[in-house]
Amino acid sequence: MRATLPSMASLVRQALREDVGSGDVTTRCVVPSGRLGLGTIRAKEPLLLAGLPLAREVFRQVDPTLRFEPLRAEGSRVGRGTPVARIRGRAASILTGERTALNFLQHLSGIATYTAKCVAEARGRCSVRDTRKTHPGLREIEKYAVRLAGGRNHRFGLNDGILIKHNHWRIAGGVKACVERARRSKHRKPSFPVQVEVSTLPDLQEALEAGADSVLLDNLSPQQVRRALKLIRGRIPVELSGGITQGGLGRFAAVRPDCISLGALTHSSRWVDLSLRLEGAGK
């Protein structure tokens, strides 16, 4: 996981603070403090498993005496009914951490499962990338789930790449002026290629004449993309984006761009279904 242990621990701490607050009142009222339990997390549908390190950290923070045992490897494909992890120890502690751990697992496994389907749909004709359309505070782990499933990450934030979008060049003099300014700028690291977003062939021509290192073709049809690729003639990398989902990805991959980016990987992937069943394991 790209997230460092301190950052992962901080994220889990925040999630537990949100869910548990000053204490799990229901569990305190009804479950004897000394009761031991065995919790088994199972997949309730086929999925690509992601988030086990976070689930482990949840139970560790709730109660360091709990024993978390992964039964399947992170990133593995599992079928419906497959046990993926077990937790042993104080039943009350398992109950307190249950929802937070499942939330991480269901969300990240959902992203990984959907990303894997998109990668399969591309069939090696292009790479599949994510975007910055992530849930605030969860970008690191959401992009981790994309990588785990065979997708690639676009920039992590505004500080680690140049992408001149429509609103940039509309307000700052047009495509050509912005590309030329970015290439000369003292704020640009030499390792940062200048990528520009365009939606018309005239704008694309401006980007090429100005020396753009890469273009993002936004909201073009496959037919329009073909015309754009003829204009580019393989000189620079081409990324496609704009409302593309798994269902339509194959038509765009057939045109053979370098990559396709989908905001849907992180903002619209459905949570998959996992559950935790708790059984007694003595007093």
2, 4, 137 from 7: Cα distances, Å: 10, 5, 11
Catalytic status, residue 209: no
Catalytic status, residue 213: no
Catalytic status, residue 197: yes
- Which of 88, 99, 147, 155 is an active site residue? 99
For residue 154, how many other CB atoms are within 10 A of its CB? 20
Please say whether the beta carbons of 48 and 149 come within 8 A. yes
Catalytic status, residue 189: no
Amino acid at 106: Q
- Which of 98, 197, 203, 206 is an active site residue? 197
In this structure, the strands spanning 36-43 and 274-280 are antiparallel
- Which of 88, 147, 155, 165 is an active site residue? 165
91, 149, 274 from 77: Cα distances, Å: 29, 10, 13
44, 149, 209, 246, 273 from 81: Cα distances, Å: 5, 21, 57, 26, 10
Catalytic status, residue 117: no
Please say whether the beta carbons of 85 and 138 come within 8 A. no
- Which of 60, 133, 181, 188 is an active site residue? 133
Residues serving a catalytic function are: 99, 133, 165, 197, 218
